[in-house]
Amino acid sequence: MSELRRTQKDIKGTYVTKGTVPFVTYVPFMSLERREFIRQGFAAGLLGLGALGSLGALGTLVGCSKVAAPAATAPAATTATAAPAAPAAQRWGLVIDPALLVKTQAFNAVAQACHSHHNVPQISDPKTEVKWIWQDDFAHCFEEMDSAYLPAALRELQFPVLCNHCENPVCVRVCPTQATFKRDDGIVDMDYHRCIGCRFCMTSCPYGARSLNFCDPQPYIAQVDPGYPTRMRGVVEKCNFCVERLAQGLPPHCVEASQGAILYGDLDDPASEVRQALAGSLSIRRRPELGTEPSVYYLLRGAESPTDAPKGGEPHA
């Protein structure tokens, strides 16, 4: 412990987000985390239940005095490492037009782009498979809205499903290590370094969006994409809204490959493309009655009438 304290105090530099538009306002470690840990440790000790808990909190408290650096200042000079400006958002969301996706037959490309770029292993056994985005029909995706007399077109329509990046994510609530966490921009992300593989998040996710690596995933990755790390066995993974691409100012892979059927943008910005799309059509979300507030919306414009083929509407590459 004392060893840790000595060395961590010595860490030299400071961290900054990109000077231009950080999508997360980066707070230096010290002020926030320390107070947080003191509070948590105190809570545990106070209730008299936490012989272990307070020990843990104490450990973190000591281990956490990481960077005694002043508030980060953005460097004036641009460097070789600077990337194009990343777009900012208060709450990232996706708007999916499933009918358009069927029409353009882009789903396979979407799944392929997502899975190959994120090194998602292709395991054929449905019990242990790992998947970030896949398809299912209306009756299974929206069970509570199902009825015997749905238009055939809607009944046969396939809906892409993925992590909903909930406003109130249950997985984040239950995770005992904060390995899964919600970012300030609304994205529910995973810290694979920290995940202990308890699968509480899988149990709690009402959307079945999470997969455990039941074995070493490496043999199931045909070609490792160097642009994104792979995972170890025993950790849970899911869609990360392509945070690594958003940081570079690029759209998520699924959006890029969807030929306009999947839109992304800031749900809190009335002028955003996603809000425009939602304002112009009926949209549904999966299991909204649970209060999780999913950030993935499905447009139903014209999906019910096969003759009146739905149009793309949104000008999107």
Scanning residues 9 to 38, which ones bind another protein (CB under 8 A)? 10-18, 22-24, 26-27, 29, 37
Minimum CB separation of residue 312 from another protein in Å reads 28
Minimum CB separation of residue 63 from another protein in Å reads 7
Among 207, 241, 264, 297, binds another protein (CB under 8 A): 207
- Which residues from 131-170 bind another protein, rule CB under 8 A? 136, 139-141, 143-144, 170
Minimum CB separation of residue 128 from another protein in Å reads 6
CA 281 to chain CA centroid, Å, is: 25
43 touching another protein, by CB under 8 A: yes
Residue (198 or 284) nearer to another protein, CB: 198
Mention every residue, 6+ apart, whose C-beta is less than 8 A from residue 28.
Answer: 14, 15, 67, 69, 70, 71, 72
Q: Report the distance separating Cα 310 and Cα 316, nearest Å.
A: 15
Total Cβ atoms within 10 A of residue 175: 22
Q: Report the distance separating Cα 97 and Cα 22, nearest Å.
A: 29
Q: Report the distance separating Cα 108 and Cα 96, nearest Å.
A: 15
260 touching another protein, by CB under 8 A: no
Could you tell me how many residues of this chain bind another protein (CB under 8 A)?
108
Q: Report the distance separating Cα 50 and Cα 38, nearest Å.
A: 14
- Which residues from 114-133 bind another protein, rule CB under 8 A? 126-129
Among 21, 68, 75, 156, binds another protein (CB under 8 A): 75
Mention every residue, 6+ apart, whose C-beta is less than 8 A from residue 280.
Answer: 301, 313
Minimum CB separation of residue 316 from another protein in Å reads 26
